[in-house]
Structure 1
Amino acid sequence: MPQRRVVTGRSQNPRKRFAEELCALRAKKGVTLKELADRLGWDASLFGKMEKGHTLGGPEVVQALDQHYGTQGLLLVLWEVARRDPTQFKERYQRYMGLEAKAVRMWQYSQSIIPGLLQTREYARELLMHGELSGDTLEVQVEARMGRRETLLREDCPEFRAIISEATLRTPLESPGDWRTQLSHLLAMVNHPNVVIQVLPLSAGLHGLPNTDTMFLYGSDGRTVAWVENAYSGELVEETATVERLQLRYDRLRDLALSPNKSRQFIESLLEEAPCDPST
């Protein structure tokens, strides 16, 4: 059977294909980014980043574009395919890591796991094993995560605030000894002047970030981006209005959390209650 030829001339990469379609549709419509923004109510910078492939945007803006261009759901389909492309997650994460290395402040909320920058080697290994990694691949990923921890210890270290859910702190490792090591590490980290840890108690109830781990990166140029992640995917959020909405939810979440001092006491109590490893 002869090799199938690509007849459209468009990229076969889902993310690039989505961006190309956006560019082509706007060119056919004959409108500028500003005119598009004025008509649909989003920032022109967002549409520019979407057309350059820097962000996919959210489903609401894609649906609005579908309606504006009369494409009958085509853009939403392309957006769904691009969003689920596993290679794009790796590329976005690599870009995120570059921004993290340059950040002057980092604020994080962790709903279900200890933040990566605060994990011990044992915690990282067990977590990654549940992600079906093993052998040399597992050890490479563990070492990479341990390398990230140095960010908080370097001479020009950024300010770091982590809000950790009580549920996370009550989910131990298989080894009691490894879990005690992790709790002890959290207490050691709060002794660093650039690190603040707060606990979100279960009694706080529902809030605006119920199922999303979120990290805000503040650059020296005043720019702020957010990384939102679940167990299967992650997204780098750069559009100003969206970042500001997430920040507002984070601020309200911080108001519900225990103070840094009470959070330290809470972790100390968990360490006192944690069983000792019977082998020691």
Structure 2
Amino acid sequence: MPPRRAVTGRSQEPRQRYAEELRLLRAQKGDSLRQLGDALGWDWSLFGKMESGQTIGGPEVAEALDQYYGTQRLLLTLWELAAGDPTQFRERYRRYMALEAEALSLWHYGVSTIHGLLQTPGYAHVLLTAGGIKGEELTRQVEARAGRRKLLAVEDAPPFRTILSEAVLRTPLDDAEQWRKQLEHLAQAAERRNIILQVLPQGSAPHGLVSTDVMFLRLPDGRTVAYTENAHRGELIEETSSVERLQRAYDAVRDLALSPAESRKFVTRMLEEVPCEPST
């Protein structure tokens, strides 16, 4: 069994340190990436991306590598440090944004908010402000979200399915006019050929995404990746078995949701309930 090496002595940045250790261990064993993939049952390209720092994979991959290399919990410990590194949220989100722009199709489930691709500037401004973003950074991020909407508006826009928890549509903005604009935009978007909107009613049976916002991206190379998010962090998931597990949960949610036609009527009813501005 290889001796457990101290974390100190090489890179102190968690993600770089993890990738460095993966490269060293494979070199010591004399495996190619393909041999490593065949031995562990994952696509060899995943290990290449982990060794280059493009992704850290999932904890199950780190555990499998620990077992394969005989390193006890060394790699899992390094994975936990990399996953907890606050810089990783930004890096994962930047990579997600790049993949979103090239996706052939997108599937979304929103447990608490409307997805950024369907947000109006007013709605985005409220959400970002609530998250503590201010000043010029707030302006930049609102503009960025507005720019993302173009992805679904171009002539060859990719298919996009969004399933929204009913709670999303029953959590209005304080500004009734801005909330009306957001619902109107949602209703108009649902009429486009490339967009399918469904609503998951309150009181639906428990499901595997009960507290998780998720987006699936089908990519030109045939892969599907997932991005999960809550109020504090997001994670880009590329490992096949983890993505497939989330997809099964998503399929269950879709089965519980209202049909697209019923969902459009639901949004229309919510729009009718928005208080009218008093006339002057």
TM-score clears 0.5: yes
Secondary structure of the equivalent of 1:207?
coil
Find the counterpart in structure 1 of residue 3 from structure 2. none
* CA-CA distance at 1:34 after TM superposition: 4.9
Deviations 1:148-184 (A, max 9, x none): 0111111221111101111111111111221122111
Q: Residues 45 and 239 of structure 1 are in contact (CA less than 8 Å); yes or no, is this contact kept in structure 2? A: no
| TM-score in terms of structure 2 length | 0.89
Aligned to 1:49: 49
Quick check: 1:162 aligned with 2:162? yes
Root-mean-square deviation over aligned CA pairs: 2.2
- Report the equivalent of 1:251: 251
* Alpha-carbon distance change, 171 to 279 in structure 1, aligned in 2, over 3 angstroms: farther
Shift of 1:112: 1.0
The answer to whether structure 1 residue 108 and structure 2 residue 111 are counterparts is no
Matched ranges for 1:260-279 at <5 A: 260-278=260-278
1:179 maps to: 179
Structure 2 CA distance, aligned partners of 1:179 and 1:28?
A: 59
Amino acid at match of 2:225: V
Is 1:196 the counterpart of 2:181 in the alignment? no
Checking the alignment, whether the CA contact within 8 Å between 2:18 and 2:79 is kept in structure 1 is: yes
SS at match of 1:117: helix
Rounded Cα–Cα distance in structure 1 between residues aligned with 2:102 and 2:122: 27
Return the letter of the residue paired with 2:268: E
Aligned to 1:238: 238
User: Which residue in 2 is equivalent to 1:3?
Assistant: none
Change (3 A) 1:161 1:140: same
The offset of 1:142, in angstroms, is: 0.3
Counterpart code for 1:182: Q
State the Cα distance separating 1:205 from its structure 2 match: 2.2
**Secondary structure of 2:81's match?**
helix
Q: CA deviation at 1:54?
A: 2.3
CA contact (8 A) 2:57 2:238 kept: no
Work out whether residues 214 and 228 of structure 1, in 8 Å CA contact, stay in contact via their aligned partners in 2.
Answer: yes
What percent of counterpart residues are identical?
60
How big is each residue's C-alpha offset from its partner over 1:68-107, in whole Å with a ceiling of 9 and x where there is no partner?
Answer: 4343423222212211223222222222212211222111
Which residue is 1:86 aligned to? 86
1:208 corresponds to 2:208 = yes
Kindly provide the amino acid, as one letter, of the partner of residue 56 in structure 2. Answer: L
Q: CA deviation at 1:61?
A: 2.5
Residue 4 of structure 2 aligns with which residue?
none
Runs of 5+ unmatched residues, structure 2? 1-6
**Structure 1: gaps of 5 or more residues:** 1-5
Count of aligned pairs between the two proteins = 274
Q: Distance in 1 between matches of 2:279 and 2:88?
A: 44
TM-score (norm 1): 0.89
State the Cα distance separating 1:210 from its structure 2 match.
2.0
Q: What displacement does 1:35 show? A: 4.9
Q: Is the 8 A contact 2:66 2:75 kept in 1?
A: yes
